[in-house]
Amino acid sequence: MRIILLAHTPDPERAIATAARLCYSPSGAVELAEKMTDAEVKKLIKFIVASGHHSTIEHASFTFAIEGISRACTHQLVRHRLASYNQQSQRYVKFDQNLSFIVPPEIEKNPEAKDLFIELQGEIMRTYCQLLELGILAEDARYVLPNAAESKIIVTMNARELFHFFTLRTCERAQWEIREMAWKMLNMVRPLCSTVFENAGPYCFRGPCPEGKFKCARPPHQQPHPRSRR
């Protein structure tokens, strides 16, 4: 899995604080942004997060390029609707030479299961290539491709949606691949927007877990458990 932060709002917390202050000031946005000290920005952001005035957080956005994840993972990712996505097409891109597959860790560590998995992926690739050779369009041949097929996607989310995404997807109950991705994304944006994302992470970072009888047995933590896979 490879994640690159392609772009983000310059000085994102100052943009957020400026938006919040503009609501209650006769001054213009540029003047407000220039007058605030870093300490004032940080203090105001803390108030914004605590008070629930979260619409202002939407003024900061982050764009990621993500590679080396499965179609199973991207199907989960795009369920987060308040975001922008562009994904490598299986209709317009032919994979007869270089289609890769993601092997789940539980399969990777089981030699017999891994052999079965690799054998099936090979059979799928042979069938896919044969369909293309028969003149079947890639848009139809792709129907044989599995959830394990590697994909590439560009994602843009604002800070408010990212916070929500991190709450759900860094949780131990999230599937292992998207959880790993969420933690990597959080570790990228936290240094750039440290006050907003100070307490970002699963629900248990900030209060009781809402999962009820389904909650995990481990105490709250600041990083994913290295042996945790679901």
Q: Domains of the chain by range and CATH?
A: 2-85+151-214 (3.30.1360.170), 91-148 (no CATH)
What are the tens digits of pLDDT across the range 122-134? 999 999 999 999 9
What are the tens digits of pLDDT across the range 64-114? 999 999 999 999 999 999 999 999 999 999 888 778 999 999 999 999 999
- Asked if residue 173 belongs to a known ligand binding site, the reply is no
- Asked if residue 55 belongs to a known ligand binding site, the reply is yes
Q: Which member of 14, 21, 169, 179 is catalytic?
A: 169
- Asked if residue 81 belongs to a known ligand binding site, the reply is yes
Cα pseudo-dihedral 91, 95, 96, 99, rounded to 10: -150
User: What does the pLDDT read at residue 219?
Assistant: 61
- Token output for 131: 């369909």
What is the identity of the amino acid at 114?
K
- Asked if residue 87 belongs to a known ligand binding site, the reply is yes
Residue of 225, 3, 219, 216 whose CA lies nearest to 105: 225
Residue of 230, 168, 177 whose CA lies nearest to 201: 168
User: What does the pLDDT read at residue 222?
Assistant: 56
169 included as an active-site residue: yes
Residue entry with tokens 């914004």: 48
Residue entry with tokens 């795009």: 78
- Asked if residue 229 belongs to a known ligand binding site, the reply is no
Residue of 128, 103, 1, 16 whose CA lies nearest to 62: 16
What CA–CA distances, in Å, run from 68 to 91, 99, 153?
19, 11, 9
- Asked if residue 80 belongs to a known ligand binding site, the reply is yes
- Asked if residue 126 belongs to a known ligand binding site, the reply is no
Q: Are 15 and 59 in contact (CB under 8 A)?
A: yes
- Asked if residue 21 belongs to a known ligand binding site, the reply is no
Predicted confidence pLDDT, tens digits, the chain (230 residues): 999 999 999 999 999 999 999 988 999 999 999 999 999 999 999 999 998 889 999 999 999 999 999 999 999 999 999 999 999 999 999 888 778 999 999 999 999 999 999 999 999 999 999 999 999 999 999 999 999 999 999 999 999 999 999 999 999 889 999 999 999 999 999 999 999 999 999 988 887 788 777 777 666 655 554 444 43
User: What does the pLDDT read at residue 209?
Assistant: 80
User: What does the pLDDT read at residue 226?
Assistant: 43
